[in-house]
Amino acid sequence: MRSFFKMLESSPAWARVGPFAVFVLLTFCQGKFGEASRYWFYFAKTIVGAWLIWLVRPYVAEMKWNFSWEAVVAGIAVFAMWVGIDGFYPPLDQLLDRVGLVMAKSDGAKGWNPHAEFGRASALAWMFVVVRAVGSTLVVPPLEEVFYRSFFYRSLLKADFQSVPLGRLVGTPFVLTSTVFGLAHGEWLAGILCGFAYQALVCRKDRLGDAMAAHTITNALLAAWVVWRGAWKFW
């Protein structure tokens, strides 16, 4: 554990990859220890993710929100696109099932719905709803944007990724980073288009903060939509 903290301080790459890797590991554990673990591990990764963001703040100078008008427009537009194209393409699990790579989820799978697990009147269920909304809005954006658009995109251009300006636009890394980002989501097509939008913001503004802000706005609107419409599939 001590070596992990030392790496965060001494390695610019690890400061950007390490917190994201821990977050992904905890995400993988969701639902692996009974249905309730889906929610408790999200709670844990939200707390741990927030703590890791706090730890790496001094070492990741570009991790700052910038709420420009472009960020606001992009955040709202991505939300509208994400919800608007749903149903017009197969989710990732179904797409992979068609080519024989993985079995699609059964119709009976609950997915993320704490009301179904703990009861609609349960205070615990509403606590997990709030945790999910806060985590997706405030914790996920900095972790993902720092990893994908500060580290991954620039590392595709040069091993010394910090020598690459955030605003440098190169086609292949632009498409590859957005594609990898998109395929990390069940709504893969929306995710790829979302990646294009956020990466374009970084390249246009030559800073990471606008993409972080747009990501925050998108996820906040999506959280409101999920709770309002009961559209749990988006979570």
Mean pLDDT, 10 residues at a time, the chain of 235 residues: 80 96 96 94 98 96 97 98 96 83 50 90 95 98 98 98 98 98 96 98 98 98 97 94
pLDDT of res. 102: 58
What pLDDT sits at residue 49? Answer: 97
Question: Do the beta carbons of residue 150 and residue 16 sit within 8 Å?
Answer: yes
Token duo for residue 155? 């590392």
Max CA-CA distance within the chain? 53
What pLDDT shows up at residue 145? 98
DSSP conformation class of 103: P
Lookup result for tokens 């419409």? 229
CB 209 within 8 A of CB 62: yes
